[in-house]
Amino acid sequence: MLSKKTKYGLKALAFLASQNDRKPVQIAEIARHENISQKFLESILLNLRKTGLLGSKKGKGGGYYLIKEPKEILMTDVMRILEGPIAMVPCVSLNFYEKCDDCPDENACAVHKLMLQVRDSALAIYRNNTLADLIK
């Protein structure tokens, strides 16, 4: 299941991408437009700024804005920032690899074999989509 954090983060990014210009948009406006709890969205946007996807401006006329153009923003990056590993099991993760302590041999593991395929297919989708693709 996708966490609400990820869902809201994606919606916020898509909303920012759909703006005509890259002028700052207030949290309140995003929250209202996407039906998201404003306080919850605050922490999500802050996270997206700290990880380099968004810029922000304080004070009057402030808000959040995309740093790069939507077509330059890959969904692999977005998903890893918001949701974490794309793999469903750490032992098949590219960026968050961890060995299973219960599993003596990965290559003989049925779970490993299946989840490797699932990861590859998900990865193909995320690599094939930019933020721009999601708003047309």
List the single partner that 110 binds among DNA, a copy of itself, none, CB under 5 to 8 Å by kind: a copy of itself
Closest to DNA by CB, 25 or 130: 25
Q: Which amino acid is at 104?
A: P
Closest to DNA by CB, 36 or 130: 36
List the single partner that 111 binds among DNA, a copy of itself, none, CB under 5 to 8 Å by kind: a copy of itself
One of 10, 27, 44, 54 touching a copy of itself (CB under 8 A): 10
Closest to DNA by CB, 112 or 132: 112
The candidate with the shortest Cα–Cα distance to 44, out of 1, 5, 11, is 5
Four-residue CA torsion sign, 18, 21, 26, 29: negative
List the single partner that 24 binds among DNA, a copy of itself, none, CB under 5 to 8 Å by kind: DNA
Between CA 83 and CA 80 the distance in angstroms is 6
Closest to DNA by CB, 61 or 107: 61
Element (H, E) at 30: helix 27-34
Give me the half-sphere count of Cα atoms (radius 13 Å) on the Cβ side of residue 15.
Answer: 22
User: Encoding tokens for residue 29?
Assistant: 């406006």
List the single partner that 65 binds among DNA, a copy of itself, none, CB under 5 to 8 Å by kind: none
